[in-house]
């Protein structure tokens, strides 16, 4: 029998002054109450009660034990109450990993709005584009884009991410508009180094892979904003999500090409370790992001 149950039984007996009354209070048998008290006395190697035919009295050791037991049980109740708040209120610190460009361009605004709505939640945000281990690196949630590999983690879709192959008007004026992926010049490709198209069978991706074998890309970088800015200068073509290139497309700084060959949309996910034990602070954070960005995000409207 666990010691917590023994302590609870002992405290009730001490407060009631009777094994029989304690049994009624605990809705159990008199014999079981006596057994638990005897087990506690054996564990502590001391007598807790002096027993007479009519009444029981705490020994000196019993009085000391009662003080400690009350303190222990009160501390446990306080802990349970405090931890219970974490499941009913959005409160505490969230450790979040997220992509660099998406965070600087769009997530910052969402976090500001979230914290205005949930002022008792603090966020520790770490930005990186590499694949991180959510559990080993101590994150509550990772925001990630793309086709996710199967794992023990839970992934909830936040929004849809569309891709666009872009060049500047100056590039088109100088080299002409490609009409087919095979028309792309491999030496002009501005490549995002973290991208993984292994599971994508589109004709455009096949062409990019084939071109990479013919000639190294003009530029490889681990930041989509840098690649987009280079593309604006007419130095090559870039395949990027519209949350990065959308504004440049609207302003005419970039032009989308080969639209009919663009790979299918991907998704932005919230990836976290547990489904059943998800804290309320994480639940409201993910729900907030889903409502904030919606399935068709504002940069594509």
Output the DSSP codes for 177-217: --SSGGGS-GGGEEEETT---TT---HHHHHHHHHHHHS--
Containing structural domain, residue 48: 3-88
Report the pLDDT value the prediction gives residue 89, as an integer from 0 to 100: 74
Instruction: Name beta bridge partners: 58.
Output: 49
Q: Are residues 255 and 223 in the same domain?
A: yes
Give the 3-state secondary structure of residue 151.
coil
295: pLDDT strictly greater than 90: yes
Q: Are residues 122 and 135 in the same domain?
A: yes
Contacting residues for 138 by C-beta, under 8 A, at least 6 apart: 95
Report the pLDDT value the prediction gives residue 71, as an integer from 0 to 100: 86
130: pLDDT strictly greater than 90: no
Q: Are residues 198 and 133 in the same domain?
A: no
Q: Are residues 9 and 66 in the same domain?
A: yes
pLDDT > 90 fraction of the chain, expressed in percent and rounded: 64
Which has more confidence, 107 or 75? 107
Q: Select from 44, 63, 88 the last residue of a domain.
A: 88
Report the pLDDT value the prediction gives residue 203, as an integer from 0 to 100: 83
Domains held by the chain: number: 3
User: How many angstroms separate the Cα of 253 from the Cα of each of 4, 117, 169?
Assistant: 69, 36, 7
In the chain, what is the greatest distance between 2 CA atoms, to the nearest angstrom? Answer: 108
Q: Are residues 136 and 78 in the same domain?
A: no
pLDDT tens for residues 192-236? 987 665 455 578 888 887 776 788 888 999 999 999 999 999 999
Asked if residues 191 and 217 have their Cβ atoms less than 8 Å apart, the reply is: yes
Q: Which range has the top average pLDDT, 52-61, 133-142, 251-260?
A: 251-260
Asked if residues 140 and 95 have their Cβ atoms less than 8 Å apart, the reply is: yes
Output the DSSP codes for 237-254: EEEEEHHHHHHHHHHTSS
Query: Among 185, 193, 181, which Cα is nearest to 262's?
Result: 181
Q: Are residues 170 and 257 in the same domain?
A: yes
**Mean pLDDT, residues 82-110:** 86
Asked if residues 102 and 143 have their Cβ atoms less than 8 Å apart, the reply is: yes
The whole-angstrom separation of Cα 155 and Cα 163 is 21
Asked if residues 264 and 197 have their Cβ atoms less than 8 Å apart, the reply is: no
Q: Are residues 270 and 152 in the same domain?
A: yes
The whole-angstrom separation of Cα 124 and Cα 8 is 40
Output the DSSP codes for 55-104: -EEE-HHHHHHHHHHHHHHHHHHHHHHHHHHHHHS--EEEEEEE-HHHII
Asked if residues 48 and 40 have their Cβ atoms less than 8 Å apart, the reply is: yes
Instruction: State both tokens at 146.
Output: 């793309």
The whole-angstrom separation of Cα 229 and Cα 244 is 10
Q: Select from 39, 68, 88 the last residue of a domain.
A: 88
9: pLDDT strictly greater than 70: yes
Q: Are residues 210 and 249 in the same domain?
A: yes
Confidence of residue 54 (pLDDT cuts 50, 70, 90): confident
The whole-angstrom separation of Cα 199 and Cα 204 is 13
Instruction: Give the domain CATH number at 59.
Output: 1.10.10.10
Q: Are residues 276 and 145 in the same domain?
A: yes
Give the 3-state secondary structure of residue 20.
helix
Query: Among 145, 171, 173, which Cα is nearest to 158's?
Result: 145
What does pTM read for this prediction?
0.69
275: pLDDT strictly greater than 80: no
Place of tokens 């990993």: 97
Q: Select from 61, 88, 115 the last residue of a domain.
A: 88
Q: Are residues 137 and 209 in the same domain?
A: no
pLDDT tens for residues 174-199? 999 999 999 999 899 999 987 665 45
Instruction: Give the domain CATH number at 233.
Output: 3.40.190.10
Place of tokens 């925001």: 143
Q: Are residues 197 and 149 in the same domain?
A: no
Asked if residues 292 and 113 have their Cβ atoms less than 8 Å apart, the reply is: yes
**Mean pLDDT, residues 139-145:** 93
Query: Among 241, 250, 231, which Cα is nearest to 293's?
Result: 241
Q: Are residues 126 and 271 in the same domain?
A: yes
């Amino acid at each position: 029998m666990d010691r917590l149950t023994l302590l609870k039984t002992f405290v009730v007996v001490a407060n009631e002054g009777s094994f029989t009354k304690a049994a009624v209070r605990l809705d159990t048998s008199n014999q079981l109450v006596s057994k638990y008290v005897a087990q506690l006395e054996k564990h502590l190697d001391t007598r807790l009660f002096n027993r007479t035919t009519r009444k029981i009295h705490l020994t000196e050791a019993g009085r000391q034990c009662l003080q400690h037991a009350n303190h222990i049980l009160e501390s446990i109740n306080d802990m349970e109450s405090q931890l219970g708040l974490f499941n009913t209120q959005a409160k505490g610190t969230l450790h979040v990993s997220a992509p660099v460009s998406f965070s600087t361009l769009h997530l910052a605004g969402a976090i500001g709005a979230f914290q205005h709505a949930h002022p008792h939640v603090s966020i520790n945000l770490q930005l990186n584009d590499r694949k991180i281990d959510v559990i080993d690196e101590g994150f509550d949630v990772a925001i990630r884009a793309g086709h996710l590999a199967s794992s023990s983690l839970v992934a909830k879709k936040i929004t849809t991410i569309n891709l666009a192959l872009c060049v500047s008007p100056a590039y088109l004026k100088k080299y002409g508009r490609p009409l087919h992926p095979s028309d792309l010049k491999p030496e002009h490709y501005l490549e995002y180094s973290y991208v993984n198209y292994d599971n994508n069978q589109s004709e455009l991706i096949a062409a990019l892979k084939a071109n990479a074998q013919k000639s190294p890309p003009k530029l490889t970088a681990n930041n989509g904003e840098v690649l987009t800015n280079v593309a604006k200068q007419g130095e090559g073509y870039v395949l990027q999500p519209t949350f990065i290139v959308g504004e440049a497309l609207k302003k005419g700084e970039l032009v989308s090409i080969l639209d009919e060959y663009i790979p299918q949309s991907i998704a932005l996910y919230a990836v976290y370790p547990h489904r059943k034990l998800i804290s309320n602070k994480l639940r409201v954070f993910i729900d907030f992001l889903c409502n904030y960005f919606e399935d068709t995000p504002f940069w594509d409207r």
